[in-house]
Amino acid sequence: MTYDGAPTDPATMFEGLPTSVISDCMGRLSGTAALAPRHGDAPMVGRALTVRVRAGDNLFIHDALRRVTPGSVIVVDGGGCTERALIGEIIMAVARDRGAAGFVIDGSVRDVAAFRDAGFPCYARGVTHRGPYKNGPGEVGCPIVIDGQPVFPGDFVLGDEDGVVFVRPDDAAAVAAAARSKLADEADTLGAIKNGTYDESWVEAAVAASVPLRP
């Protein structure tokens, strides 16, 4: 899958990088806060196939399934509505068969046991047994907003037990490099804690420079 000449292998670029570290390297402003993994602990990495739907209606998710290519993450702006499930086991089975890498749903899902049993990545705002309508309107391949975060077609989508982050293709190489550097620094810090050489002298200076709380 190619988007504007950007790197097309996010699995290699972001392999082994936690979302927490990636988020830290993006100003701690990127990614979801209200969506949770509904599938267990399998990580997710891929490129965004974006969908916008009417609240509680999944017609255009079915349309998006016809456009899935290997590595697609189907990212659905459901307006945060949790009253009806937008996807379940049937849609998961189709997406998985066509090589999709996972789902991000700003709305609800159902059949979560099927997602857990399959270990197929799915992040969603809520869970409900109540099924969707299939009337539209909607749109595929458009800019959307997920839990307050803008997402564009082809964005890198990374998920783990802590949540989901989105990275623009033009920023991906720099973010991945910064995250690998930070991960190495954190490994050094954990080693220092273990061997008794952890230096927390920075805390005193930071406390002294902080703005005092006022009642």
Assess if residue 29 is contained within a domain. Answer: yes
The pTM score is: 0.91
In this prediction, residue 182 carries a pLDDT of 96
The answer to whether position 182 is within a domain reads: no
Note whether residue 144 is domain-resident: yes
Spatial neighbors of 198 by CB under 8 A, at least 6 apart, are 189, 192
Q: Residue 197 domain-assigned?
A: no
Average pLDDT of the chain is 93
pLDDT value for 90? 98
Q: How far, in Å, CA of 47 to CA of 81, rounded?
A: 24
Q: What is the dihedral of CA 168, 181, 45, 84, to 10 degrees?
A: -70
Q: Is residue 46 one of the residues assigned to a domain? A: yes
> What's residue 5's pLDDT?
40
Residue 107 inside a domain? The answer is: yes
Beta strand residue intervals within the chain, DSSP E? 36-37, 44-53, 72-77, 85-87, 102-109, 122-127, 138-140, 144-146, 149-151, 156-160, 163-167
Containing domain of residue 164, as a range? 10-176
If one counts the domains in the chain, the total is 1
Q: Are 83 and 107 in contact, with CB atoms under 8 Å apart? A: no
pLDDT value of residue 212: 83
* CATH code of 39's domain: 3.50.30.40
- The count of residues in the chain is 215
- What pLDDT is stored for residue 121 in this prediction? 98
Residue ranges of the chain with per-residue pLDDT less than 70: 1-8
Q: Give me the pLDDT at residue 30, please.
A: 85
